[in-house]
């Protein structure tokens, strides 16, 4: 089975989400830029980000802060999100079961997939880290996916764009392919993904089929 992260792998949504989060932090007096959100929180659950920011800043965020950020993100994603270049090609040519495992809420993942017409490739096989105890880099989400689909972790290949996601896949006993083709990726990202345990790193979705075949021994 091939397990895809959503943001930055299937859809180019990271710049949208980081901009919304940074603007929200700034409105409550926390000096956070989109670049800082990307650097420290890519691949992680928004709820975990909010907890870490509260601890680091020594403040308590407003009661409706998380809900406000989530709603604003959904609106902008529905209006602005685009599929990662050539991802439809990759999904069309990959054989076998495929699913999505994201740190985002199920609502956000569904909006992302529907807005880019990618939902048809996954059906009901869409999972959110909100359904498990610990988010990435913990392995909980990927182990949950394996249990729900009846596929052994060793038979899963994960496509991830963050060190947290790659670490989670490796900890779950799965093989990870790092993807660095999103618009948020910088020159340091390939090294970070390799250091986290990615077996292969690709920058173009047209290379995904070959990478999967290599890992499967074809």
DSSP letter string over 43-88? Answer: TS-HHHHHHHHHHHHT----TTHHHHHHHHHHHHHHHH--BPTTHH
My answer on whether 189 and 212 are in the same domain is yes
pLDDT in tens, 151-206: 999 999 999 999 999 999 999 999 999 999 999 999 999 999 999 999 999 999 99
Residues 6+ positions from 96 with CB-CB distance below 8 Å: 1, 2
Its domain, for residue 146, covers 2-12+81-216
Among positive and negative, which fits the CA dihedral 129, 132, 137, 143?
negative
Task: Report the pLDDT value the prediction gives residue 192, as an integer from 0 to 100.
Answer: 97
Number of domains in the chain: 2
CATH number for the domain that contains residue 73: 1.10.150.240
Specify the pLDDT at position 215. 94
Residue 131 in this model has a pLDDT that exceeds 70: yes
**Domain stop point among 23, 55, 80:** 80
Q: Are residues 29 and 6 in the same domain?
A: no
Kindly indicate the confidence band of residue 95, based on its pLDDT and cuts at 50, 70 and 90: confident
Q: What is the pTM of this model?
A: 0.92
Tens digit of each residue's pLDDT (9 = 90 or more) over 45-85: 999 999 999 999 999 999 999 999 999 999 999 999 999 99
Residue 175: predicted pLDDT: 98
Check whether residue 98 and residue 69 sit in a common domain.
Answer: no
Q: Cα–Cα distances in Å, from 187 out to 180, 191, 203, 210?
A: 9, 8, 11, 23
Determine phi and psi for 151, rounding to 5 degrees.
-110, 135
pLDDT band at residue 105 under the 50/70/90 scheme? very high
Task: Tell me: do 212 and 107 sit in the same domain.
Answer: yes
Q: How confident is the model at residue 218 (pLDDT cuts 50, 70, 90)?
A: low
């Amino acid at each position: 089975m091939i397990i895809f992260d959503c943001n930055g792998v299937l859809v180019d949504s990271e710049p949208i989400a980081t901009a919304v989060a940074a603007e929200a932090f700034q409105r409550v007096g926390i000096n956070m830029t989109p670049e800082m959100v990307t650097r420290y929180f890519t691949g992680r659950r928004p709820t975990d980000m909010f907890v870490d920011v509260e601890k680091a800043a020594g403040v308590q965020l407003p009661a409706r802060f998380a809900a406000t950020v989530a709603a604003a993100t959904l609106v902008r994603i529905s209006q602005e999100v685009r599929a990662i270049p050539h991802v439809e090609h990759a999904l069309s040519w990959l054989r076998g079961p495929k699913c999505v495992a994201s740190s985002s809420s199920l609502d956000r993942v569904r909006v992302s997939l529907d807005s880019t017409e990618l939902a048809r490739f996954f059906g009901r096989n869409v999972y959110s880290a909100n359904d498990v105890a610990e988010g990435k880099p913990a392995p909980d989400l990927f182990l949950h996916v394996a249990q729900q689909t009846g596929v052994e972790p060793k038979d899963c290949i994960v496509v991830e764009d963050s060190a947290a996601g790659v670490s989670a896949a490796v900890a779950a006993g799965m093989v990870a392919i790092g993807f660095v083709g999103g618009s948020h990726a910088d020159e340091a990202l390939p090294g970070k993904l390799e250091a986290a345990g990615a077996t292969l790193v690709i920058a173009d979705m047209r290379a995904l089929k070959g990478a999967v075949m290599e890992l499967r021994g074809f």
